[in-house]
Amino acid sequence: MNRVLILNGPNLNLLGTRQPEVYGATTLAMIEDACRAHGETIGLNVTCLQSNHEGVMIDAIHAAKGTQDGLIINAGAYTHTSIALMDAVSSVAIPTIEVHLSNIHAREEFRHRSYLARVALGQICGFGAVGYHLALDALKAHLEPT
C-alpha cells in the first residue's frame, strides 16, 4: 500500500473558525479523518501533519524521503513566500500535489504566485475540503497508473 503524507501549513489548525466565509466550517480534524478514510478506501495509507512553522514543515518533507510515496501539501501563506519549501519538495523528489481550500487565483494578487506549483505534479484549489480527496485520487492514479 502506498504511503502519502498530507502536510498542512500555518493557520490551517484554525479551520472551522477562521474566516468560514472563505475556508468553510469544516475543521482540520474533520478533513484529516475524511482523508484517512478515503485513503483506506482507495488503497493509500495516509498520514497527516500540520505545523505553523516553516522549518518543521521542511523537516517533515525531508523525513518523507524514503518513507512516503507521495505528498499532498497545503502550505497556506507559505505557498506564496517560501522558496525553502519549494527547494525541500524539489530535493526529495516525491510526487507532490499542492492543495488550497479557496481559489487562490480569484483572491488577492499576492496569492496568485505559488512557488510550490513549480515543483508539484499539479495544483487543486477552490473546491474546499473535497480538494484533498481529489488530490488523493490524482496521486493514486500517478503512483499506480492503470
Strands (E), 38-130: 44-50, 70-74, 96-100, 122-125
Number of separate domains in the chain: 1
The type of residue at 29 is A
116 secondary structure, DSSP code: G
Percent share of the chain, pLDDT over 70: 100
Please state, rounded to an integer, the average pLDDT across all residues of the chain.
95
Take residue 132 and report the three cell numbers written for it: 484533498
The pTM is what?
A: 0.94
Q: Residue 136 maps to which CATH number?
A: 3.40.50.9100
Q: Any idea which residues carry the catalytic annotation?
A: 23, 100
Q: How many residues does the chain have?
A: 146
Q: Does residue 90 contact residue 62 with C-beta atoms inside 8 Å? A: no
Strands (E), 14-67: 44-50
CA–CA separation, 33 and 102 (whole Å): 20
